[in-house]
């Protein structure tokens, strides 16, 4: 719960800081002088409630959504040697990383993949695909598990949700400011919100939302490099590099992870051009080269 408290405290701090900025620079007064009546603080609080609440709810429900979305089977009692080895490996690596024992699961997919999710370091889920277990050696699977446990230990799920919540707030906030200004200044509407406000607000929200997604995906790509290093530290550099090489062979297979879990999987298909800016993972070749030269 400490991390949830941090999530909320950070968001409140952002609101307070922006409110102070409005007052110091007289931004609200400037709009009044231009004939645009906007309560910036009230609008900001409104946008924060909706923008941040969605991210917080998604974070709290992440494990449940992951289980439903992938059809994964949580190993409550190992039924064979593979499951026993998997649970023992996660337990050993989690202890080494200093986190609580996550739930361990297997989900049906021919593509080698894995993901970790959950709202805290001590309440997480680590899942691997059947394709990963079928196509990798044990040391390579362990490296992938170390990568996912690295995500949990680094608090990546919370940080990504926090970033998404703040950006959601900004998107809603600035889209509505743009809509109000255009409605008042361009369309000369001084009573309520006219059609111009709604059209411009929706258009601005789409454009700003795309830009916000690029920022979120940039951070997602950055955290993959950190998780690769964590996987190498918890196992070995060679095992992590070999695991990434194996993942390259699976990029041509259909990606079976739901869209809301793409950023949490270890493997994402090949992407280029503009799509690369919206990718949650860097190209595997870049990850391999970065890991070869990383300080462990």
Q: Which residues are catalytic?
A: 148
Residue 186: burial class (beta carbons within 10 Å; 0-12, 13-18, 19+): exposed
Instruction: For residues 169 and 7, give the distance between their C-alpha atoms in angstroms, rounded to a whole number.
Output: 14
Residues 71/107, Cβ–Cβ less than 8 Å: yes
Instruction: For residues 105 and 85, give the distance between their C-alpha atoms in angstroms, rounded to a whole number.
Output: 12
Give kind and range of the element (H or E) at residue 123. strand 123-129
Which string of b and e fits 109-122 if b means at least 16 CB within 10 Å? Answer: bebbbbbbbbbbbe
Residues 280/268, Cβ–Cβ less than 8 Å: yes
DSSP state of 179: H
Strand order in the sheet with 73-74: 73-74, 103-107, 123-129, 114-120
Residues 148/114, Cβ–Cβ less than 8 Å: yes
Instruction: For residues 175 and 204, give the distance between their C-alpha atoms in angstroms, rounded to a whole number.
Output: 5
Q: Which of 180, 172, 146 is nearest to 35 (CA)?
A: 180
Q: Which of 252, 280, 285 is nearest to 266 (CA)?
A: 280
């Amino acid at each position: 719960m400490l991390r949830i408290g941090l999530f909320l405290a950070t968001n409140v701090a952002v609101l307070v800081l922006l409110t102070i900025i409005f007052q110091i620079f007289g931004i609200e007064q400037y709009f009044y002088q231009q004939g645009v009546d906007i309560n910036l603080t009230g609008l900001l609080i409104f946008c924060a409630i909706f923008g941040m609440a969605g991210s917080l709810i998604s974070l709290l429900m992440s494990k449940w959504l992951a289980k439903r979305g992938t059809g994964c089977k949580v190993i409550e009692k190992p039924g064979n040697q593979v499951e026993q080895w998997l649970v023992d490996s996660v337990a050993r690596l989690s202890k080494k990383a200093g986190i609580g024992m996550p739930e361990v699961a297997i989900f049906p997919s021919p593509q080698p993949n894995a993901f970790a999710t959950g709202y805290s370091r001590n309440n997480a889920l680590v899942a691997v695909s059947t394709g990963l277990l079928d196509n990798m050696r044990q040391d390579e699977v362990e490296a992938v598990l170390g990568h996912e446990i690295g995500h949990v230990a680094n608090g990546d799920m919370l940080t990504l949700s926090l970033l998404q919540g703040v950006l959601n707030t900004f998107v809603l906030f600035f889209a509505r400011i743009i809509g109000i200004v255009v409605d008042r200044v361009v369309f000369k509407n001084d009573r309520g919100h006219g059609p111009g406000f709604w059209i411009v607000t929706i258009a601005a929200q789409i454009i700003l939302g795309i830009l916000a997604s690029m920022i979120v995906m940039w951070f997602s790509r950055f955290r993959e490099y950190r998780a690769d290093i964590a996987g190498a530290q918890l196992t070995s550099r060679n095992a992590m590099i070999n695991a990434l090489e194996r993942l390259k062979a699976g990029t041509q297979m259909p990606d079976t992870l739901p869209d809301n879990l793409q950023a949490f999987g270890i493997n994402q298909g090949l992407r280029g051009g503009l799509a690369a800016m919206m990718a949650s993972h860097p190209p595997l070749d870049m990850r391999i080269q970065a890991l070869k030269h990383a300080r462990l």
